[in-house]
A and B are shown apart, each in its own frame.
Chain A
Amino acid sequence: MSAPTKETVIERLFTLAATRFNKERDTLNASDDLFDALEIDSMQALSLLTALEETFNVEIPDYEVQDVRTFDELADVVASRL
């Protein structure tokens, strides 16, 4: 089975983040600052990381997302692990 495309990763990322942090899925954009869009702090970001690892069945070291700011950048990190 081939790895999901980055677009698929972003779509699943939006769904996951919107559900987890009670946001409207359609209001999220790839270029959005995810901390602002989701209104999350670093503790919640850590829980998002755990959820991403579970959803995509990958391991994402937190140093790889240390400087991530947008959904697009986060999707790149996830996609690189698939």
Chain B
Amino acid sequence: MLTRDIDDGILTVTLDGGAFNEIGLPMLRALEGVVGDLTRDDVRALVIQSANEGGFSAGADLRELHASLTSVDGAPSELLDHALGLFDSPRTAARSGVSALRNAIRRRDVRPMNTAKVWGVRAFLDRVHRVFDAIDAAPIPTIAAVHGVCFGGGFELALTCDIIVADKTARFAFPELRLGLIPGFGGIPRLERDLGNGVVRDILLSGRSVSAKRAHEVGLISQLVGEGHAGKVAKRLAQQTTRFDAHTLSVAKRFAKPIPLERLAAEKDQFCELLVRPTVVEALTRFVESKDAMPYLPGARAKRARTTPS
């Protein structure tokens, strides 16, 4: 899913999972493995990049999300197992009320089932937020080196970093509204931390992708570089930061980059409320059944129109 390499004080995390570095459970587990490295004495800066030709990351693993919401319909005990599997430990599951769900299943009470589906996804979201918050608040400078597609959860991961370096092929988008959802990995609070709200609303409400050039103009990207150079430039930038006193760097970062904890929690709540609406499962089903890797991109709809008999 990813590789980790520490060289001269710089931890380089290279995403390398699946077709588009989708963030599902396997990628989440791999990212959880990075968290401990952020406070190592020999790590002075972090660079996150992608080995995937198509880009940084296309976002959350929507096929996995679809499965979470549909595959256990009518099979409460499987749902329980599935939900339990999303927690990082039995203790966390217990704290979140697993016994209440177990009792409901014993009573053959189906009403909590919808709640339980969301509850399982929420457990997943909680883990994503813990990792993303840890990267956001890491005591070292963090840099995302972006090329190509940087959508949804991938965009949200990039936004956890202090600085985004992108090559001119990069495109950023929140396509979640096409699925009847909003970003759920902290994207809105982190984007509004960095940009004016007018730009945030444009990106969020239109679902459109913005080019690296435009992202640079509005201040989302700090450094815009030639095609294929984002990783190298990000490492040189990371190297530059290691010349400064580590404690002063961490103080400067904390001062310049507050973590919007309340807004992050509120976004998660809103996401989970939207998740139970039939619109979401319908949109996810269309996505899963599409032959196109990313059916919301230009061309996919025109292609569908050509192949669908009128």
Contact = CB atoms under 8 A, between A and B. Distances in A.
B208 A43 contact: no
Interface string B250-270: 000000000000000000000
A46 B302 contact: no
Interface size class of B (residues with CB under 8 A): 20 to 34
A81 to B, nearest CB: 13
A16 to B, nearest CB: 15
A19 B54 CA distance: 20
B213 A62 contact: no
Given A50-B171, A67-B305, A69-B305, A42 B208 contact: no
Given A63-B208, A69-B305, A42 B297 contact: yes
B213 A66 contact: no
A42 B213 contact: no
Contacts of A43: 54, 149, 293-294, 297
B177 to A, nearest CB: 11
A49 interface: yes
A61 B206 contact: yes
A40 B302 CA distance: 12
A75 B292 CA distance: 24
B149 A46 contact: yes
Contacts of B212: 50
Interface size classification for chain A: 20 to 34
A40 B206 contact: no
A26 interface: no
A50 B305 contact: no
Contacts of A63: 206-208
B214 interface: yes
B292 A59 contact: no
A69 B298 CA distance: 10
A36 B18 CA distance: 27
Interface in A26-43: 33, 35, 40-43
Nearest to B305: A67
Nearest to A40: B299
Contact of B298 (A53, A54, A59, A68): A68
A33 B303 CA distance: 10
A35 B301 contact: no
A67 B306 contact: no
B169 interface: yes
A41 B299 contact: yes
B190 interface: no
A46 B171 contact: yes
A18 interface: no
Contact of B209 (A40, A41, A62): A62
Nearest to A42: B297
B68 interface: no
Interface of A: 33, 35, 40-43, 45-47, 49-50, 53-54, 59, 61-63, 65-69
16 contacts: A40-B299, A41-B292, A46-B298, A49-B298, A50-B169, A54-B213, A59-B210, A59-B211, A62-B298, A63-B206, A63-B207, A63-B208, A66-B298, A67-B302, A68-B298, A69-B306
